[in-house]
Amino acid sequence: MIRFAIILLFATLTATASPPRERISINENWRFTKGDPTNNTASLLYDVRQQQTIRRLAEAEADGNSSTNDSGASRESTNQPPAVLKPWILPTGNDFIKDPSRRFARPGGNPGDGVTYVQPDFDDSSWRQINLPHDWAIEGPFTHSGGGGMGRLPSDGIGWYRKHLDIPATDAGKSLFLDVDGAMSYATVWLNGQLVGGWPYGYASWRVDLTPYAKPGGQNVLVIRLDNPPNSSRWYPGAGIYRNVWLVKTQPVHVAQWGTTLTTPEVSLQRTAVNLKVTVANDSKLAANVSVATEIFALNTSGQKTGPAIANFLPTNLQIPPGTSDVASSSTTITNPKLWGPPPTQYPNRYVAVTTMSQAGKVVDTFETPFGIRSVNIDPDKGVFVNGERIELKGVCNHHDLGALGAAFNERAAQRQLELLQAMGCNALRTSHNSPAPEFLELADQMGFLVMDEAFDVWVRQKTPLDFHLIFSDWHEQDLRAQIRRDRNHPSVIFWSIGNEVSEQFTFANGAVVAKELDAIAHDEDPTRPTTTAMNWAQPTNPFTATVDVIGLNYQGAGIRQAPGRYPEFHEQLPGKLIIGSETASALSSRGEYIFPVTGSNSAAVGPDSGEDRARHQVNAYELYSAPFGSSPDRVFASQEKNPYVGGEFVWTGWDYLGEPTPFDTSRSSYSGIIDLAGFKKDRFYLYQAHWRPDFPMAHIVPHWTWPERAGQVTPVHIFTSGDEAELFLNGKSLGRKTKGPFEYRLRWDDVVYQPDTLKVIAYKNGKAWATDEVKTAGKPARLKLEPDRGTIDADGKDLSFVTVTVTDKHGVTAPRADNRIHFTIEGPGAIVATDNGDPTSFESFQSHDRKAFNGLCLVIVRGEPRRPGKIKLTARADGLEAGTTLIKTIE
Ligand code: GAL
């Protein structure tokens, strides 16, 4: 008893001597190099990768270089089993393996001992200095060889990162953690020459405990090796430490990683019960007696606390034995809560729970959990209800890349993506096909999007030779539990998707076994949200289909299964399950490319004589063409409206993305986006806006009206409008007034004979004038116009201004087919981070300051220098054109 008291006193003294939690960004000042050291003798293979090993061996032999530095390959050639890192890495995921008997013990030894790059005294001064987030592949060069699936950029290979970390003497006795939001991929971490751990899945967020290897009171050397396989993805994965990285300092007794769970079981405008669970880890060698208390504050739109606490949870006491963790559970109520919900009918109000943990009356940890109060109900006959209101999911799927910035996460770039989508009327996002950056969900919370948070594209059965199937059996539990623990307090997240079009659909009952295991993990981590999986093949009777709560159908409503689609069949056979269009459309187009003749149908599969410009590798922007298994937006709208029990759709895709350039594999980026890779709206944007924002007055004319070679030829005109009727005028002469019929989403004048000058539309709604649009024939390109999306940005080295550069004629009319080569220069405290033009066939480097306009437009992404506020002047010049400039102010 006395001994226990002394131990407690000691634990208390150690704890109170230091400040509570610190979370420090360590993104700056890393050194980076590609490839392993040439004199490397030790194997740093994470695990055996059959195909890659063979490929590297073959390459080495072709080079006449038998002493390859990939020791796995050398060993294979001598028929010895290769040494692998897996046993040292696996313990990193132990907290996410439920069954203690299945957790891993770290073997003895220290892999990396003989590797120069791992050693603390290695001189890395000749390595490149970089800041994170970093994507080594986005700099290119693009390659013309091989397939286009992974974006034709050099994402495969080995990358090393080193950072000198100052750990002050006052950190002695603290727990020190490295939190990596995402590293692509197969990460291994050393501190001061000692292997700490790692994580293979490039989309996971993970933590390693640096405490045992840290040397407070001086420089510590942190080393991370990544090993990104080729043929590992169906899209551009990016490469490198492409998300934020943090050093977290706590007391040995602290709130565990993602240690809070907040739920709101009963939501009403009068009173809402809030339940909170706080997991406390005691990493000390002593028992700990802690008290956990939490207060709730309202957050304003910029995420700041406002006013005094509006509710509090009474303190809970825990006695935690050393080396274990325990959970403090408590409840409170909030009266007259402001609910979180999607605009435009609801508002994304948010709160934060501030947890304070004390030992002997002294605060030893504080932990903030932002959250929102909302109810989500799923009705198989009526759809998704948020706070009692039916919300049709007007969603899009997106991959994680940010166009010209690659996979390197940038909050402003992600925010811009979401802003444009919201302006279109989009209210839901699917994180296809993996866990997103944490800040992405923060943005979704702030802006009021509903999110399908997806985990995997692949389970046991591969889609590409070196994809996630290689590690599924070792890591699926850790990856899925980690994702759900990280994301479960976000009000935006409404579904957990356990997979996309996995090949386990084809193995019926066997596939269902895997699905059930993942479904059970999701429910175990979060009993409050339904699971789904996106199915392009499984039928209602397939045992796989019924394993999840919500039936996600890819292209089965309209597209892959011909009219009338399979929604009714699924609804009839699985009446207790909600159906959603988890992936729809896969419509394809290149911004500003119009190819004649235009199909008379309302949806056509793209092909040699259907929507394709085979010489230029572009796809018709009349927005009627799709992948063979997909369908036009119009056809999807009809199938959704005819089956109102379907909860909504997630369009493939909101934005163009790097890789998967169907139908022209020779290109660099996709054609499926509603918005192109540079962020310019395709015509399709207006087709969705017209349908998704019926109360927003708008009309949009397709195509442009600069066709000198088409004088006298039939040039169809289509109108996308939120009105129900429209009248079209060519040079003031009416071409007739048309009304949308049932299940029609555009108005078509398919026999207009082209003559230049002015095309104008007046749209009507309920008989009243509603919106207009006008296009004019442009003269010769004459000028460059520069328009920043924001004229003032933060001087923090992160914030960005996206500048649209338009080629116009001398009257300021956009020259819609201009392809002038433009040169950009910048003056003042800023830099050009990247340029693009949205052309999927462009192989110009994203870093280039020279770029051809694509159909009249170019994009320049500008960043301010950190801590140097001032004025940045961006100038664009092109031969024969009047130059243009713009000023961007940066502020602190
Ligand atoms: C879907 C798939 C997506 C993407 C899309 C291309 O079947 O789920 O990841 O490949 O097709 O249109």
Confirm or reject: Cβ of 501 under 6 Å from ligand 1. Answer: yes
Amino acid in position 805: V
CA of 520 to the centre of ligand 1 (A): 26
């270089």: which residue's tokens?
65
Positions in the chain short of pLDDT 50? 1-16, 52-78
Confirm or reject: Cβ of 626 under 6 Å from ligand 1. Answer: no
- For a mutational test of ligand 1's pocket, the pick from 398, 454, 619, 652, i.e. the residue with the most ligand atoms closer than 8 A to its C-beta, is 652
CA distances from 890 to 42, 825, 828, 831, 886 (A): 48, 17, 10, 12, 13
Predicted pLDDT of residue 50: 61
Confirm or reject: Cβ of 586 under 6 Å from ligand 1. Answer: yes
Reported as type and span, the H/E element at residue 2 is helix 2-16
- For a mutational test of ligand 1's pocket, the pick from 150, 500, 501, 553, i.e. the residue with the most ligand atoms closer than 8 A to its C-beta, is 501
Reported as type and span, the H/E element at residue 14 is helix 2-16
454 is catalytic: no
| Helix segments in 594-679, DSSP class H | 633-642
Closest atom, ligand 1, to C-alpha of 234:
10
- Long-range interactions of 886-889: CB distance < 8 A, separation 24+: 886/786, 886/787, 886/788, 886/791, 886/803, 887/791, 888/788, 888/790, 888/791, 888/792, 888/793, 888/801, 888/803, 888/830, 888/862, 888/864, 889/791, 889/792, 889/793
501 is catalytic: yes
Q: How many CB atoms lie within 10 A of CB 599?
A: 18
Closest atom, ligand 1, to C-alpha of 501:
8
Q: Is the CB of residue 858 less than 8 Å from the CB of residue 805?
A: yes
Cα separation, 363 vs 16, whole angstroms:
7
Cα separation, 302 vs 368, whole angstroms:
15
Confirm or reject: Cβ of 536 under 6 Å from ligand 1. Answer: yes
Q: How many CB atoms lie within 10 A of CB 317?
A: 10
Confirm or reject: Cβ of 582 under 6 Å from ligand 1. Answer: no
Predicted pLDDT of residue 18: 53
CB-based contacts of 571: which residues, under 8 Å, 6+ apart? 380, 579, 643, 645, 646
CA 493 to chain centre: 14
CA distances from 228 to 128, 147, 148, 246 (A): 19, 17, 17, 22
Predicted pLDDT of residue 372: 98
Q: What tokens appear for 664 in the block? A: 């022209």
Predicted pLDDT of residue 715: 98
Q: Is the CB of residue 813 less than 8 Å from the CB of residue 873?
A: no
Confirm or reject: Cβ of 606 under 6 Å from ligand 1. Answer: no
Cα separation, 859 vs 863, whole angstroms:
13
| Residue 484: strand, helix, or coil | helix
Predicted pLDDT of residue 75: 33
Burial 248-272 (b: 16+ CB within 10 A, else e): bbbbbbbbbbbbbbbbbeebeeeeb
Predicted pLDDT of residue 48: 84
Confirm or reject: Cβ of 627 under 6 Å from ligand 1. Answer: yes
Nearest CA to ligand 1 atom 6: 586
What pLDDT digit, counting tens, does each position of 12-43 carry?
444 445 569 999 999 999 999 999 998 776 68
Stated pTM of the model: 0.95
